[in-house]
Amino acid sequence: MRLHEGVGPTPAAAGVEAAPPIASLRRLRRGKRLLLGRPLRSDELDARRLPKWLALPIFSPDLVSSVAYATEAALVVIVSASLADPGVVFPLSVAIAALRSPVSSWLRSAASSA
């Protein structure tokens, strides 16, 4: 059976979104370029890279706080679930709390010494 153009369901009717118009993509690229500037060439990347002595104090606290918040959020979910069925989830939450305790104390000591 041969399909002819214009025969059959349209992409929207088939549940497939049509690609955005080319003009919209051009506007997005132009806006991105105005906001961020032109892309850097490969030979320009080394000059823009932060040295390690400057990058570590800037980006490390963000990483440490993200890890601490993720652990706390996971613990809140597990403790909440343990209220529903303490026999199954409670031992798991105790193990996670025991593993989290030394990490939390290390983070506090590192933050207070900084």
Query: Minimal CA–CA distance to 97: which of 75, 80, 77?
Result: 75
Pairwise CA distance, residues 93 & 81, whole Å? 9
CB within 8 Å of 89: residues ≥ 6 apart? 78, 81, 82
Tens digit of pLDDT for each residue in 44-97? 887 778 888 887 777 777 666 777 777 778 778 777 777 877 787 777 778 878
Q: What pTM was estimated for this model as a whole?
A: 0.28
pLDDT at 13: 55
pLDDT at residue 8 greater than cutoff 60: no
